[in-house]
Amino acid sequence: MQAVHSTALRPCPLDHLRKPTSTSPLFSSTNNAKPPNSHTKTHPFTISASSAPKRETDPKKRVVITGMGLVSVFGNDVDAYYEKLLAGDSGITPIDRFDASKFPTRFGGQIRGFKSEGYIDGKNDRRLDDSLRYCLVAGKKALENADLGGEKLGKIDKVRAGVLVGTGMGGLTVFSDGVQALIEKGHRKITPFFIPYAITNMGSALLAIDLGLMGPNYSISTACATSNYCFYAAANHIRRGEADLMLAGGTEAAIIPIGLGGFVACRALSQRNDDPQTGF
């Protein structure tokens, strides 16, 4: 999860590597080509070799990341997570949160030791799907990292602060439990939180409600590219002047029987259970 807002930036160190744009005609002539006669129609279409877009120089339209927060297989500390990435450490381990012995794939990126104290009240913590719990904690940690945690959040205009958190699967545990309750006990036993906590935009909604943010608020679902699209869309809200600050990122909690089974069914998972850390 990232907190992004407009501010000044240093010049990009890659600017000197960018090549100028080159343009070539769509129909190029060769030695054997005949010049067009008076009856030949020509079309002035060209193909441009695209270079990197020009950097924004207007300070009001510049966008930077000012804080980051996460919940991961390596814990909740951004610096520790980054060090693990640099070291090439794998967070993939055997699944033990349920009996996966009958599945052909029995390992994954399982989050262990997650704690929400100080970020989610006890009553809501018991109701929420894990994807929502991860979202709330990571989002608030991003604000803390940006020095906007707690009472400091009151310094900003909350009408111009939004949330854009995406997810591929949404509240999968809540959805699975609701279907099971329907089959085993009938519709009267479905929790009233079934729909609200299963839909994909609820992470953004709950985070905004909890923090009082009233800017742009929705979700994007584009499978594994979800978070990147959220970052891009959040930055554009700031560039267009629709917000001054955006909390953006993604959340997922799909390591449950129906989630694992679904990915197994579409043959998307490795079955190298004897060596999960290099299972790819």
What CATH number does residue 117 fall under?
A: 3.40.47.10
More confident residue, 61 or 28: 61
Q: Is the pLDDT of residue 161 over 60?
A: yes
Rounded Cα–Cα distance for residues 105 and 269 (Å): 7
Radius of gyration, alpha carbons of the chain: 24
Q: Looking at the 3D structure of the chain, how many domains does it have?
A: 1
19-28, 79-88, 162-171, 208-217 — which is least confidently predicted? Answer: 19-28
Q: Is the pLDDT of residue 255 over 90?
A: yes
pLDDT tens digit string along 52-102? 667 767 766 689 999 999 999 998 999 999 999 999 999 999 999 999 999
pLDDT tens digit string along 177-232? 999 999 999 999 999 999 999 999 999 999 999 999 999 999 999 999 999 999 99
Query: What are the b/e assignments for 57-83, b being 16+ CB within 10 Å?
Result: eeeeebbeebbbbbbbbbbbebeebee
Indicate whether 181 belongs to any domain: yes
pTM: 0.78
DSSP state of 73: T
Indicate whether 261 belongs to any domain: no
Indicate whether 9 belongs to any domain: no
More confident residue, 235 or 40: 235
State both tokens at 211: 């923090």
Indicate whether 42 belongs to any domain: no
Indicate whether 119 belongs to any domain: yes
Indicate whether 272 belongs to any domain: no
pLDDT tens digit string along 133-142? 999 999 999 9
Q: Residue 279: what pLDDT?
A: 62
Q: Residue 97: what pLDDT?
A: 93
Q: Is the pLDDT of residue 34 over 50?
A: no
Domain with 153 in it: 63-94+111-254
Indicate whether 3 belongs to any domain: no
Q: Residue 46: what pLDDT?
A: 45
Indicate whether 84 belongs to any domain: yes
Mean residue pLDDT of the chain comes to: 84
**Helices (H), strands (E): how many in the chain?**
8, 9
Q: Which amino acid is at 101?
A: S
Band of pLDDT at residue 150, cut at 50, 70 and 90: confident
Q: Residue 56: what pLDDT?
A: 67
- Please name the residues in contact with 182: beta carbons below 8 A apart, sequence gap of 6 or more: 189, 190
